[in-house]
Amino acid sequence: MTPANSPSKTAFRRYSRKALIAICVVCTLVVIILQIIFTPLWKLELTTEDLISRYCKPAPLSQELVFLAIDQASTRLDHIELAEIEASPALKLMEGGFPYPRTVYPMILDRLFESGAKVVVMDLLFLNERDEDGAFRAALEKYRDRVVIGSNFDSGDRLSGTMALHAMPAQSLIKVTKPVDGRVAYVNFWPDLDGVVRRAHYGVTASDVFQDTSAPDEEVLDSLAAKVLKKSGHAASVPRAREPHRFRFAGPGETFLPRSLCDLFDVKQWTLPRYNSGEFFRDKIVLIGPQGSFQHDTQPTPVGVIAGPELHLNVMNAALQGAFVRESPEFVIYVLIAGAGAFAWVLCLWFLGPLSRLSSLIVANMLWVGIALVLLNYANLVIPVVAPLLALTTSGIGCLGWDFFLERNERARVRSVLDKYVAKNVADLVLAEGDAFAGAVKGQRRTVTVLFSDIRGFTAMTEEAVPEEFVAQLNEYFYEMVEAVLAEGGTLQNFIGDAVLAAWGDTLTVEPATGAYHAVRTTLRMSKALRKLNEQWSTQPGRRNLDIGIGINQGAAILGSVGHPLRMSFTALGDSVNTAARLEGATKHLRTQILVEESIEELTRERFHFRRVDSLRLKGRSKATAVFTVLGEKSEPAPPWLGEYHRAVELYHARMFREAAEIFRKLGEEITDDPLCAMYATRCDLYAETPPSADWDGSFTMTEK
């Protein structure tokens, strides 16, 4: 395998670093292009900025501004007694609903200015001439320095044939002059591309609105807010005209507490402390306009849909409080996008693990949103959020995907090498749990289930066989045996000549019952696979049938990597391994293919049919152990003779040798060529003639390995 500091590794790292740079550059360029041409991205940016602004402090509320609303109470007058309406000329005129007769407006102006109002602005359009305009015209003239009414820019529609125009108040109220009469101001707002109003124009020219060529001496027209501020003595607070100014809202709808217009003439309301007979209006800027949707005078804003008059109040309030928001220049936006892409590359170099890298991207996203919130809240500065985060996230995820691709390729390469030299489980542990494997190779003690299988008569076969044919046959045999081990999640520990050593619980901790179950299933798979191989080989010249013995044991073993530094092997060591090998050796004497010790049978007896074979005292052990052979899984019926066989074994251990011998002989006739019944019948005859000693425990002592 390639050393960590080899030239190929260094070149690989350089190649990976260059690829990460390329990914970040491409992702950043794509985001910059989208920022230029992709309108939905702009809209998403604006929506995100609105969302952030809702968590910022609102603009301070000026106490100089008052909203007199033409609301339902003022159009229905349901709450006012009929006698009071009849006694008030103004209420009598308002009783017919909105739009009111124009003769009511002089009464409104008189009432407000008599109360000391500084400026009265009507967010209303009086476009058509009416017969009763004389009194209203006189009132507008009387208060010309303290009153403002609206005009409207209409951009027209070529499809419907309407022309662009500046709709002024009726000539019967105010004569159209140049420059425009100082009592007239436009009421328009121009929303952003997503239809939301965020900016105010305190002054425009007609060519600005209609996108015509501007004349050098063209008149700059005041907005409703600008005109009011100038007339109320706040001219210095009016921002520069002909430029959009993004402002901070004082709050959602009805932040400027609407007061019903009819309260001016409702004696009960007028005398309450809230109005104090008009004293409330002293030195106030009073805006009169419709509240609600009945006039369709509403606008979508970052704080929600609000009425047009309240929007004008927010614009005035922003100027009075200096609550404007600065926006990042366009070149700064592209610099931030590029910086986000570069920062993603830095994060990918700092954080190498997938989880840590993904976490760093999430933290960076949250941090940027937090910075945007702080700057907007305390510095009145709007910075782009969506585009930089898109560059950061796509670059980071792109780098993560590239590393994942490289990691998969590298793992596949390492796996292809490991699979040739170590067990599948060991390869999995090396690749998936490097730290755990590093600890395991140093040595540890675990409970493992060990399977040992061996080919019988192997030495004699090697002396007689043709080498090429025998090696080919042996490889076919090993392939099927190893597949049986791997299919049950076992570790192929080693090939010892013709023997196969496998284990469960060595590379990964498993429950003893689980390890025992999979080991027993493996023996059934091995036995079935060998039968099929022998059937194939019986028809192939030069091939001979093979017979194997299998031993399974469970117990504590020492696990670790042993050998020479140039050739190490991760293996299990200890008595449990030796016992499995001795059980396999005992299969030859007991003439059975599989032997498992009693702890394996106890753990898996609910899932397999077992036949007790004998009680063995293995070489090197003083205590006898019961051994069993497996007949099949319990999903299939047990052999009909199995119960009678176990009854005979119990009689044998109870020293009732003649009764046991009779059953064994009878079963020997039923089970064709059964070595175990013949063995027990012979032993019973022997012990019946010469009884064993009083301390006999029914065991047979193995004198060979």
Range of the domain at 16: 7-50+328-416
Greater model confidence, 416 or 554: 554
Cα 549 to Cα 431, 433, 581, 588: the distances in Å are: 34, 34, 10, 7
Residue 369 inside a domain? The answer is: yes
Could you give the percent of the chain with pLDDT greater than 70?
88
Average pLDDT value for the chain: 86
Query: In the structure encoding, which two tokens stand for residue 11, read together?
Result: 């070149």
Greater model confidence, 695 or 194: 194
Q: What is the pLDDT of residues 559-601, one digit of tens each?
A: 766 766 656 566 778 778 888 889 998 999 889 999 999 999 9
| DSSP helix/strand/coil, 561 | strand
The residue among 606, 636, 666 that closes a domain is 636
318 and 337 assigned to the same domain: no
229 and 259 assigned to the same domain: yes
pLDDT value at residue 704: 54
* 540 in Cβ contact with 462 (< 8 Å): no
Q: What is the CATH number for 528? A: 3.30.70.1230
Q: What is the pLDDT of residues 518-540, one digit of tens each?
A: 999 999 999 999 999 999 999 98
- Contacts for 199 with CB less than 8 Å, ≥ 6 apart: 190, 192, 244, 245, 246, 247
pLDDT value at residue 344: 83
Alpha-helical (H) ranges within 422-569 are 424-432, 434-441, 458-464, 467-487, 512-537
Query: If you ran DSSP here, which 8-state letter would residue 324 be given?
Result: B
Residue 168 inside a domain? The answer is: yes
Angle between helices 354-378 and 330-350 (to 10 degrees): 150
CA dist., res. 522 & res. 511, Å (int): 17
233 and 211 assigned to the same domain: yes
pLDDT value at residue 411: 66
C-alpha R_g of the chain: 48
- Contacts for 346 with CB less than 8 Å, ≥ 6 apart: none
Cα 360 to Cα 357, 364, 365, 366, 407: the distances in Å are: 5, 6, 9, 10, 20
Query: If you ran DSSP here, which 8-state letter would residue 696 be given?
Result: -
The residue among 322, 339, 370 that closes a domain is 322
Q: Could you give the number of structural domains in the chain?
A: 4
Quickly list DSSP for 394-415: HHHHHHHHHHHHHHHHHHHHHH
Cα 413 to Cα 22, 418, 436, 568, 676: the distances in Å are: 25, 9, 21, 20, 51
- Contacts for 164 with CB less than 8 Å, ≥ 6 apart: 153, 154, 155, 156, 209, 210
Cα 83 to Cα 91, 264, 266, 687: the distances in Å are: 11, 16, 11, 131
Residues of the chain by 3-state class (helix, strand, coil), percent to 5: 50, 20, 30
Q: Give 703's pLDDT tier (boundaries 50, 70, 90).
A: low
463 and 570 assigned to the same domain: yes
344 and 366 assigned to the same domain: yes
Greater model confidence, 382 or 21: 382
Q: Give 251's pLDDT tier (boundaries 50, 70, 90).
A: very high
342 and 374 assigned to the same domain: yes
Residue 146 inside a domain? The answer is: yes
244-246/184-186 β-pairing: unpaired
CA dist., res. 478 & res. 36, Å (int): 65
Q: What is the pLDDT of residues 328-384, one digit of tens each?
A: 888 999 999 999 888 888 887 787 777 888 888 899 999 999 999 999 999 999 999
Mean pLDDT, range 228-245, rounded to an integer: 95
Query: In the structure encoding, which two tokens stand for residue 598, read together?
Result: 């009693």
The label of the residue with tokens 């059964």 reads 674
Query: In the structure encoding, which two tokens stand for residue 174, read together?
Result: 């105010």
* Nearest Cα to Cα of residue 612 among 687, 677, 672: 677
CA dist., res. 28 & res. 47, Å (int): 22
Q: What is the pLDDT of residues 61-100, one digit of tens each?
A: 999 999 999 999 999 999 999 999 999 999 999 998 999 9
* 298 in Cβ contact with 312 (< 8 Å): no
Residue 126 inside a domain? The answer is: yes
Residue 1 inside a domain? The answer is: no
pLDDT value at residue 137: 96
Q: Is the pLDDT reported for residue 447 higher than 90?
A: no
Helices (H) and strands (E) in the chain, counts: 24, 24
CA dist., res. 327 & res. 464, Å (int): 93
Mean pLDDT, range 603-629, rounded to an integer: 88
Q: What is the pLDDT of residues 252-283, one digit of tens each?
A: 988 999 999 999 999 999 999 999 999 999 99
562 and 655 assigned to the same domain: no
Cα 535 to Cα 3, 520, 526, 531, 543: the distances in Å are: 47, 23, 14, 6, 11
Give the number of residues written for the chain. Answer: 705
Query: If you ran DSSP here, which 8-state letter would residue 220 be given?
Result: P
Q: Give phi and psi for 549, each to the nearest 5.
A: -120, 145
* 621 in Cβ contact with 640 (< 8 Å): no
CA dist., res. 172 & res. 545, Å (int): 120
pLDDT value at residue 566: 59
244-246/221-222 β-pairing: unpaired
CA dist., res. 570 & res. 493, Å (int): 7
The residue among 368, 387, 416 that closes a domain is 416
Strands (E), 645-705: 700-701
279 and 366 assigned to the same domain: no
CA dist., res. 504 & res. 653, Å (int): 33
Residue 83 inside a domain? The answer is: yes
Query: In the structure encoding, which two tokens stand for residue 234, read together?
Result: 């706040």
The b/e string for 180-191 (b: 16+ C-beta within 10 A; e otherwise) is: bbbbbbbbbbee
Query: If you ran DSSP here, which 8-state letter would residue 219 be given?
Result: P
Q: Give phi and psi for 631, each to the nearest 5.
A: -100, -25
Q: pTM for the complete prediction?
A: 0.62
Residue 424 inside a domain? The answer is: no
Q: Is the pLDDT reported for residue 314 higher than 90?
A: yes
* 445 in Cβ contact with 558 (< 8 Å): yes
* Nearest Cα to Cα of residue 255 among 299, 303, 196: 303
Q: Give 11's pLDDT tier (boundaries 50, 70, 90).
A: very low
pLDDT value at residue 5: 44
CA dist., res. 316 & res. 121, Å (int): 12
pLDDT value at residue 567: 62
Count the Cβ atoms, other than its own, within 10 Å of residue 133. 20
The b/e string for 375-410 (b: 16+ C-beta within 10 A; e otherwise) is: bbeeebebbbbbbbbbbbbbbbbbbbebbeeeeeee
In DSSP terms, 492 is beta-bridged to: 502
381 and 274 assigned to the same domain: no
Angle between helices 386-421 and 39-53 (to 10 degrees): 100
672 and 616 assigned to the same domain: no
Residue 103 inside a domain? The answer is: yes
pLDDT value at residue 419: 57
Q: Is the pLDDT reported for residue 1 higher than 70?
A: no
CA dist., res. 472 & res. 451, Å (int): 24
Q: What is the pLDDT of residues 485-499, one digit of tens each?
A: 999 988 888 888 888
- Contacts for 323 with CB less than 8 Å, ≥ 6 apart: 59, 60, 247, 248, 250, 317, 380
- Contacts for 341 with CB less than 8 Å, ≥ 6 apart: 24, 25, 27, 28, 31, 391, 392, 395
| DSSP helix/strand/coil, 121 | strand
658 and 632 assigned to the same domain: no
316 and 350 assigned to the same domain: no
The label of the residue with tokens 């976490």 reads 359
Mean pLDDT, range 26-48, rounded to an integer: 89
pLDDT value at residue 10: 42
Span between the terminal Cα atoms of the chain, in Å: 39
Quickly list DSSP for 513-549: HHHHHHHHHHHHHHHHHHHHHHHHHTTSTT-----EE
